[in-house]
Amino acid sequence: MYAVFEALFSVVGSLGFIGNVLVCVTICYTKALHSITNLFILNLAVADALASVAHIAVPFAFHHFDVELLSLNKDNVTTTCTPELVFWYDVIWVVHYLGAAFVAHSVLGLTLTTYERFIGIVRPLHYTSYFSQRKIVVMLLAMWVTPLVVELPRFVYTIIAYWHRNCVSAKDSDEYYYTFSILSMVLLAGPTGAMVWMYVQILKNLKQGAKNLQQLGVKGSAKELLEAHKKVTVAMAVITAAFFILVLPAKIFQIVIAVNSEVQSLALLQTSILLVVLNSAINPVLYGFKYKQLRESFVSMVMGKCRKLKRQNHVEQAPRVEMVQTVS
């Protein structure tokens, strides 16, 4: 079982990292993509790339911890609290902390992107005041700092409690652990509820806008702008839907396991984590299928690089051909 999960996490995590890095490179390389919308997508892709990498170590950490625990039971050791066991328990929680924080970064990044679409479509006249340079910096700082701060107490407390309780997990008998788990749930539920509300408002506004343009018989730039807003919004809505299908149930299940010692299944736990990694991995694919400008920019960047390399090779080979002709 461990070998299967190790292979799956390695493949899915690596693909997720590569795909999201390509999204970042495309946005940074293409000046036409340098907008506030794509700035938030860039931060979302960075968060997904980090989440993909962090979760690769999950099955390996669980495997080594279980091997150490089984070896102690096999040797009939009187105390199971050895330095090796504590080390691998700490590794599991370091991976868990980073993974949980990076997933929360991804959720907040998705929320910021939805918020930008919400203001741009529902309140376009106030767009510049909502997204001044200073406010954007504050939003991005909050996105990156908040999860690290919220997830840190549970991480630190769990490890310290494990040391002081002779390798007894804090979640088995501690109300503080439950409190910290609830904070993690709030960090997930708050942005989720906000995204649902904003998309409802966006859909209402787009529907009303299309109806008004149709009644007035308006064509041209106004209608094209509405269609452009609609396409970008649909792309982000699909990514949000993937989050609700893959990440939300998985995170709820993980929290249930964390606060209920009777529900313990390593296979189900790792499957739920794998769904989270899968969400980070498929986001670049969804960008490619649903975000036409990003897809075309990526193709243009790759083709441009290929043509440049071809010209360089041609220039390098030209003097060699002349030398051969001279010698002959």
Encode pLDDT of 95-134 as tens digits. Answer: 888 988 998 898 899 899 889 988 988 888 889 999 999 9
The model's confidence at residue 42, banded by pLDDT at 50, 70 and 90, is: very high
Q: Is the pLDDT of residue 203 over 70?
A: yes
Q: HSE, CB side, 13 Å, CA atoms: give it for residue 166.
A: 3
For a pLDDT cut of 90, what percent of the chain falls above it? 19
- Summarize pLDDT for 43-69 with one digit per residue, the tens: 999 999 999 998 888 888 877 777 777
Residue 158 and residue 307 in one domain: no
Mean pLDDT across 237-244: 79
Residue 284 and residue 301 in one domain: no
Residue 84 and residue 48 in one domain: yes
> 299 or 257: whose pLDDT is higher?
299
Nearest C-alpha neighbor of 233 from the set 202, 279, 254 = 202
Residue 230 and residue 315 in one domain: no
The model's confidence at residue 265, banded by pLDDT at 50, 70 and 90, is: low
Q: CATH no. for residue 59?
A: 1.20.1070.10
Residue 208 and residue 62 in one domain: yes
Q: Lowest mean pLDDT: which of 91-100, 115-124, 175-184, 313-322?
A: 313-322
Q: Is the pLDDT of residue 80 over 80?
A: no
Number of domains in the chain: 2
The model's confidence at residue 15, banded by pLDDT at 50, 70 and 90, is: very high
Please give the pLDDT value at position 285: 81
Residue 314 and residue 223 in one domain: no
Residue 232 and residue 106 in one domain: yes
Residue 213 and residue 312 in one domain: no
Q: Is the pLDDT of residue 141 over 80?
A: yes
What range defines the domain where residue 110 resides?
2-290
Q: Is the pLDDT of residue 324 over 60?
A: no
Q: HSE, CB side, 13 Å, CA atoms: give it for residue 34.
A: 5
Residue 227 and residue 187 in one domain: yes
Q: Is the pLDDT of residue 174 over 80?
A: no
CB-based contact 228:291 (threshold 8 Å): no
The dihedral built from the CA positions of residue 79, 83, 88 and 94, taken in this order, carries a sign that is positive
* DSSP string of 174-211, one letter each residue: -HHHHHHHHHHHHHHHHHHHHHHHHHHHHHHHHHHHHH
Average model confidence (pLDDT) for the chain? 79
Residue 59 and residue 193 in one domain: yes
Residue 301 and residue 281 in one domain: no
Residue 193 and residue 306 in one domain: no
